[in-house]
Amino acid sequence: AVAQRGPELVARTQILGHVREIVQSQPLSWAFFCVDLSRFSLPAIFSAMTLSLVAKVETIVVHVTGQISDYFLFGCDLLSVDQIFTGSPQAILNVLSQDQKGVVIDLAGLNLDFAPTFCPDPLNYGVVMDLPQSAQVQAYLEVTAPVQVQGRPYISYGGQPESAPLVMAQEFLGCWVWDILSLHTFRHIRTTYS
């Protein structure tokens, strides 16, 4: 599914009355990931990279801010991601953006000067502990409050737990569901009407 086999163009035509809508979609030429391993977990980072591979992006380049772990390097090798060691991500981005279309996935909070840039922000992801209301639970919480660490059985995306559009159960926390990244993030979509 992730094998790179040249450019892939997908077209869909739909006739709406007297108007013909043609939607063409093709993979972007490159994806540039800025990564900070202290902001996102390895499963999160590699799930984002895997999305770009499934979308058939030709070139994936990663810039790491901060410490680099052996696990991260192994994962990059496993995914066949180009590893360029430099102190200036903007310089690499300038070279990549000269002739082909691409996207920046900023998982390090660098705020690079490029469009389109997607910046998932873990500080806006809330954590919810979902316990049923009962007298026993209330008594337990009062007794254990001084030593209790906030539980993390659920992760909510969207800021406030009560307004979160997505809640993941504990058994899915090893996976990662992105709120702003999808296969369409890594594809160039052009719509024409005639």
Query: pLDDT of 83-125, one tens digit each?
Result: 666 778 888 888 888 878 999 999 888 888 888 888 876 655 5
Could you tell me if 173 and 183 lie in one domain? no
Q: What's the domain range around 169?
A: 123-177
93/187 same-domain check: yes
Q: What is the tally of structural domains in the chain?
A: 2
User: Do 48 and 94 belong to one domain?
Assistant: yes
Q: Of 21-25, 70-74, 151-155, which gets the smallest average pLDDT?
A: 151-155
Tell me whether strands 102-107 and 117-118 are parallel, antiparallel or unpaired. Answer: parallel
Q: What is the pLDDT of residue 8?
A: 64
Percent of the chain past pLDDT 70, that is, above it, reads 69
Lowest mean pLDDT among 40-44, 156-160, 167-171: 156-160
Please check whether residue 179 is in contact with residue 120, taking contact to mean a CB–CB distance below 8 angstroms: yes
Q: What is the pLDDT of residues 163-193, one digit of tens each?
A: 444 555 544 544 566 777 888 889 988 899 9
Mention every residue, 6+ apart, whose C-beta is less than 8 A from residue 25: 9, 10, 11, 12, 184, 187, 188, 189, 190
Does 2 lie in the same domain as 73? yes
- pTM of structure: 0.68
Query: Do 64 and 31 fall within a single domain?
Result: yes
Q: Are residues 114 and 65 in the same domain?
A: yes
The mean of the pLDDT values for the chain is 76
Q: Cα separation of 88 and 164, whole Å?
A: 36
